Structure 1
Amino acid sequence: MTKSHPSTSAPQYDRTGRTGLLAALLASALGVTTVALTAQHAASAVPAASATPAAAPAAPAAPTPGEVVVDESFNGPGLPAGWTAVEGGWKVENGRLVGASTDWNQQTRITFGRHLTDFRIEVTARFETVVDAARWTALGLDVPANGATPWSIATMRSGTTAANGLEFAQRTPADTWNVTNTAVAPSAAGTGRDVRIAAEVHGTTARWIFDGREVMRTTQTARSADGGQALLVNGSQVSFDDLKVTALAPGAFIRRPGAPLTVFAHRGASSAAPENTLLSDEVARRAGADWIENDVQPSRDGVPYVLHDDTVNRTTNGAGRIRDLTSAQLDGLDAGSWFAPATAGARVPSLAAQLDDLRTRGGSLLLEIKGPHTRDEVARIVKDVRDHGMTGRVLVQSFEVDALRHTRELAPDLPLALLRADLDADPVAVARDLGLSAYNPADAALAARPGVIEALHAAGVAVNVWTVDTAARWKALDAAGVDGVITNRPAELAGWLSARQ
């Protein structure tokens, strides 16, 4: 993140004891891995519904942020209009919706709502009976109206205090499970107890909220073009009440009161894996980072690559300026051996390769345009982002004002952030001039003038601070009201935030 002499400023960390983990993660990072649940914890394949859906009507107007799209208290005599019971038994009884699944092999589900990119779904749920403590109910975050796979769900077991008591999971088109995130709930759901559960979704990012407390985040929510919401029940009888689906504003960068800091993994998880590689990105994902921060520069033949330094000398087995090397030469470099023997063979990824990895495996990108770029060079970056369908998951930042102006001209839909080693005399005026979504200063610079946080927030501009690796500063920045922290230690920051909830 440093503006000058980057090759000498990268912090050094003890890497002993990590080789086994890194070797496993390297294997994972080089090929997509599906996490399969055992029969005890997941249902077997269920045939997709065979009914052919009717022709879709014209899409309704997009809801405004804050609009309640679904509001159901189940006070009628039957299932609400527009709700489709796809599997298992569903009925309305005593003012509650009741779903029943006979065993772990049946995934009872009911679909409703409409496709939304940004929304909150919440409901009061109660396990009435369960086959065992591993049985579950779930909020369907992206489920086709006919209930067919694939789905994305937020799951709650009756044994919520187990290591996997809460999950974000996907049911794949092949009827296998991919569990992307697990967490322990702060209290036991058990049976006979009402629990208010919710999930907030912004594209592929989601937050799991248990009785008003955020317990987990994911950047790996698989989304479709038309999936709506659903409720699911497995091996239990569950009753539901007071369900709401509320439209949200597109992923705001200013954190809400009480929300934790946003975790930006600097050059990926650069303290635990070779920086700016797909391996580093994978470690950051598993560490719980909300965003991955990486740098982009062009090769001699104009292909954007992910590399921080002006040269490849420090982080690869090659030598020379990145702008003097062709894409073929960059593709042949080893970007992992310098870090640890277990990471040998990691490559310098092109921006296209990184975007493809994030699109398929999950994650959002804080993309730094490194150094001066021509308009044509910025246009190539924008093209890669668009070609991979990632405009909704990329925040572009740079020290270079011209690079941000080019980006704004070429892609006004891409949010922008300005990096600063020293604060501008009037950060708000600069933010307005550049059309910024975020102003990202160095920690030391912000510490000298913390009052700019309030002024920037009043202007609708987030503040994300770089590069901060100690709990003492995390605490101070949290108290000061910044929105996010860019760190080399995303796992530690994510753990620190979780412990404070």
Structure 2
Amino acid sequence: MRRDLLRSAFVLATCGVLCSPARGVAAEARPAGGAVVVREDFSGSGLPRQWRVVGGAWQVDGGRLVGGAGGGKGVVTFGAGLADFRFEARARVERRAGSGAWFGLGVDVPPTGAGRWTAGVVHTDGAGRPVSFGDGTSAAAPVPVGVAARGDVRLRVEVRGQRAVWFLDDRQVLMTHRSSAEAVDGLALVVGGATVSFDDVRVTRVASSAFQRADTPRVTVVAHRGASSLAPENTMAAQEVGRRSGAEFIENDVRLSRDRVPYLMHDATVDRTTDGTGNIGALSAAQIGALDAGSWFAPAFVGERVPTLAQQLADLRTRGGSLLLEIKQAAGIEDVKTMIDVVRAEKMTGRVLVQSFDPQHLRWARTLAPELPLGLLRDTLDADPVAVSEDLGLALYLPNGTALEARPQVVDDLHQAGIGVWVWTVDTPERWNRYDGYGVDGIISNRPAELVNWNNTPSGEGSTSGAPAPRTSP
């Protein structure tokens, strides 16, 4: 029953999430900048050098690369692996062998095409089938009706480390944090159940900017305590709804039990969000694990548990997503070490950003794990946010949205220093538009699905359903 409720909550919140052109599309056209490392218009008579057919039949015909795969999969690989790049192509469906026709761009693909690899593929039956990953994991993005009859469509994937985002005609349709691009891997064009022609293939190096907007008009969407407007906060249910909503990061709060097990819990006590009472630091892991963390929110969530940090990270690692981890309370460096040890044990250092209101917590984290990016939460702005950020070695400065309104120019100041800016906790299109105008890089929201919808509609036209959630702290 809970699975059905999660599906219903997700569908309700995401109606139309990816059905409108991306904000700024008219002005965006094609992102600029970077060194072009592959440019191919197939003007020659044969397959370009170092392009390798590993599945299906491929040939150059009429200035286009034509790939065919009847009931199977056609793959042609090329290029060297890059950590940060943009891969673009134009594609056109020439013939479909059946209702299962698809095509797409592959990244982190071994030259032989064998083994694990990731591709964002577009199904072409026009019946609402989803865009999906090459490993079969579906995304909640309907394909435009009639894509097979529209002539050329523009495909693009933006890759920065483990984060890869696919675009169809400049509209974001798919994202993963599970890309594993390595120097030995390359790129691919892929087709299935169809004959598809490609042209104007281009690969461009881009700067690594994991926490700044760089060349995209979109802000990073962060699900506050999971999708806490639709599921009980800081639970696996809220994380699942946040992931299905399209949020790039899940934001959660971490505290230690009496026996030093990191749990997700915002308050110092368990009273508000469970059926128990008492300070979380005075309760054992066994006691916390037995609490009901869902019945307070809705009857359908009865039996939801308080997750450990390890459980949360294991889910993100295997099913996708990154974590904005707030150290809510730490009595000393050993408490922070306990949390970081879990991040390392779960092999998630590349997908965790640590934040806190307390600069000392961040200093301890920096000492223990210099590889982890840091963010400073602020209810009011510092006199000199740049100086504070540089002193702490921050990747992100995270002010309260209302506080930022008094001095929006600090966004430009921080950007010039190479520091990203995410605001919290913002739940209405009016305020999303305002902070977008300031140039913020990310928004933390209780309503991630609606924020994703706004993120993918023309500026000023996004909307939410229902009344805004009450203002909360991270």
CA distance in 2, matches of 1:150, 1:181: 22
Counterpart check, 1:143 vs 2:106: no
Q: Deviations over 1:465-497 (max 9, x none)?
A: 111111211111112211111111111111222
1:67-466 map, 5 Å: 67-102=35-70, 105-132=71-98, 134-159=100-125, 162-164=127-129, 167-171=131-135, 177-185=136-144, 188-191=146-149, 193-211=151-169, 213-223=170-180, 227-256=185-214, 259-466=217-424
SS at match of 2:457: helix
How many correspondences in the alignment? Answer: 435
CA distance in 2, matches of 1:91, 1:402: 61
Gaps in structure 1 of 5+ consecutive residues: 1-17, 27-64, 172-176
CA distance in 2, matches of 1:249, 1:304: 35
CA distance in 2, matches of 1:265, 1:70: 36
SS at match of 1:413: coil
**One-letter amino acid of the structure 2 residue matched with residue 152 of structure 1:** T
Post-superposition offset of 1:280: 0.5
Post-superposition offset of 1:204: 4.0
**One-letter amino acid of the structure 2 residue matched with residue 492 of structure 1:** E
Work out the percentage of aligned pairs sharing the same amino acid.
50
Residue pair 1:23, 1:342 contacting (<8 A) in 2 also: no
Residue pair 1:371, 1:399 contacting (<8 A) in 2 also: no
Post-superposition offset of 1:162: 4.4
The match for 1:12 is none
Gaps in structure 2 of 5+ consecutive residues: 10-32, 460-474
The match for 1:22 is 5
The match for 2:24 is none
CA distance in 2, matches of 1:455, 1:126: 44
CA distance in 1, matches of 2:350, 2:86: 18
CA distance in 2, matches of 1:192, 1:21: 35
Q: Deviations over 1:3-31 (max 9, x none)?
A: xxxxxxxxxxxxxxx978436689xxxxx
Query: Residue 445 and residue 221 in structure 1: after superposition, are their counterparts in 2 closer, same or farther (change >3 A)?
Result: same
The match for 1:6 is none
The match for 2:453 is 495
TM-score normalised by L of structure 1: 0.81
Query: Residue 75 and residue 373 in structure 1: after superposition, are their counterparts in 2 closer, same or farther (change >3 A)?
Result: farther
TM-score normalised by L of structure 2: 0.85
CA distance in 1, matches of 2:205, 2:372: 21
CA distance in 2, matches of 1:119, 1:352: 32
How large is the Cα RMSD of the aligned pairs? 2.4
Q: Deviations over 1:206-239 (max 9, x none)?
A: 222223x232242354537654321111222222
Residue pair 2:77, 2:188 contacting (<8 A) in 1 also: yes
CA distance in 1, matches of 2:216, 2:403: 25
1:4-15 map, 5 Å: none
